[in-house]
Structure 1
Amino acid sequence: MSLSLSMAAFALASSISPGPVNIVALNAGARHGLPASLWHVTGATAGFTLLLVLTGFGLHELLALWPGLTRAIQWAGVAFLLYLAWRLARDNGALGSAAGSRPPSLLGGAAMQWLNPKAWLACVAGMGAFAADGDSARIWLFAVIYFVVCYLSIACWAWAGSLIRGHLEHPARVRLFNRGLALLLVGCAAYLVAG
């Protein structure tokens, strides 16, 4: 298998799997449709790619020197997941552009990745596997491949949400859907605390 294909397979496996960023993309697609959700998709992809590049150029060494920083990022991520779960659980179920209902933003998507322990693990593991020697050409190749794969993966979740939008015509159904997603986010947070 070629290096590029191996990088793409790694990127797909870690990007398409369920996680907090994808759950938010699914919810955004269901509530606001695909076009509005693409801000979140773009922000999450750009945020992840920046984290990946910085990891490749030595951020992982800084975290190894200060393990407390890694733990602080993990706890910030858990707090953020619980906050998102609380917001979903309290949502009134109104779709679209109802009062107080805005799709996730570009900046919010990027910030989610920086608070997402799954993203940190993917960056460290990926760079360790494909560019541990710090070869800048490999780091940039991996970043470009990952950007494309990550964008398409998160967009698939938003698209899936937009497909089920028609089945969520009533606020009661949306509330049930949101509470299910909130439980998934709490499950992600519990997994991070236990890990």
Structure 2
Amino acid sequence: MTLSMILPMSAFALAASISPGPVNLVCLSSGTRYPVPRGLVFVTGATLGFIALFIAVGLGLYSLLGLVPGLEKLLRWAGVAFLLYLSIRLARDSGHLPEDDARPAPGFATGALMQWLNPKAWLASASGIGAYTSANDLQEILVFASLYLPICWLSLASWVYAGAFLRRHVQQPVVLATINRVLAVLLAASCLYLLFG
């Protein structure tokens, strides 16, 4: 694989990873609510979950959706249910930041699962594989995945750090609660895209 292919693959990975989407919004929220290391656990799960999805799509998983009746619809509804659950949790958050670290945070498994239920991840995988690799060429898929891995992790981590910045500079619970409610509305709006987009 030449540099002329690696640069466009990397640019695609950056654009797809750093642009707003459901996982990015949860990363931002994690940064406002939890210590950065706990947000980075979610980021790691989301990154590895995406890379597993990316490789699976590259090896033909996406075409399976067309072969199994109702599978695409089932995935869509599962994604909607999961995103609505996360939106409700965000909307109900008071904005108070207790001193202890006993609060449950979205973890590794949540991050990985969220990517498999995230339409943005499916579209990024399918379009990236289609644009930059030959069908089912494992070597090309693995090279692309190895480029995507650090770019995705750093992109998602930047959203956690943006949330941590907000947390440091906005200590008033009413402001944090407002931020969480805005994020909840945006997350719920992504459900409309899933259903009608």
Give TM class, smaller chain. over 0.9
Pairing partner for 1:159 from 154, 161, 164: 161
CA 35–104 in structure 1, closer or farther in 2 if over 3 Å, else same: same
Q: State the SS of the aligned residue for 1:18.
A: coil
Q: Kindly indicate whether the alpha-carbon contact (under 8 Å) linking 1:31 and 1:96 is maintained by their aligned counterparts in 2.
A: no
2:136 counterpart (119, 134, 137):
134
2:48 to 31, 46, 49: 46
Residue-by-residue CA offset, 1:93-120 (whole Å, 9 max, x unaligned)? 2225558732210011001101101101
Maintained 8 Å contact 2:40/2:157:
yes
Does the 8 A contact of 1:26 with 1:157 survive in 2?
Answer: yes
Larger CA deviation: 165-174 vs 48-57: 165-174
Q: Which amino acid aligns with 2:172?
A: H
Q: Which amino acid aligns with 2:167?
A: R
Instruction: Give the equivalent residue in structure 2 for 1:102.
Output: 104
Does the aligned pair in 1 maintain the 2:80–2:191 contact within 8 Å?
yes
List alignment gaps of at least 5 residues for structure 2.
none
The farther-off stretch of 98-107 and 25-34 is: 98-107
- SS of the aligned residue for 1:101 comes to coil
Matched-pair contact (CA < 8 Å) for 1:32–1:97: no
The count of residues paired between Structure 1 and Structure 2 equals 195
Q: Assess, with a 3 A threshold, how the Cα gap between structure 1 residues 132 and 61 changes in structure 2: closer, same or farther.
A: farther
* 2:48 matches 1:15: no
User: What are the residue-to-residue correspondences of 1:80-91 with 2, within 5 Å?
Assistant: 80-91=82-93
Structure 1 runs not aligned, ≥5 long: none
Matched-pair contact (CA < 8 Å) for 1:34–1:158: yes
Provide the C-alpha distance between the structure 1 equivalents of 2:49 and 2:99, rounded to a whole number of angstroms: 26
The structure 2 residue matched to 1:73, chosen from 69, 75, 78, is 75
| The one of 167, 174, 183 aligned to 2:176 | 174
Q: Give the percent of matched residue pairs that are identical in Structure 1 and Structure 2.
A: 50
Q: Which moved more, 1:128-137 or 1:39-48?
A: 128-137
1:56 and 1:132 in contact (8 A); partners too:
no
Q: Distance in 1 between matches of 2:8 and 2:101?
A: 45
Question: Normalized against structure 2, the TM-score is what?
Answer: 0.93
Offset of residue 91 of structure 1: 1.3
Change (3 A) 1:75 1:164: same
Q: Of 57, 60, 64, which aligns to 1:58?
A: 60
Structure 1 CA distance, aligned partners of 2:98 and 2:27? 14
- SS of equivalent to 1:2: helix
Letter in 1 for 2:21: G
What's the TM-score once normalised by structure 1's chain length? Answer: 0.94
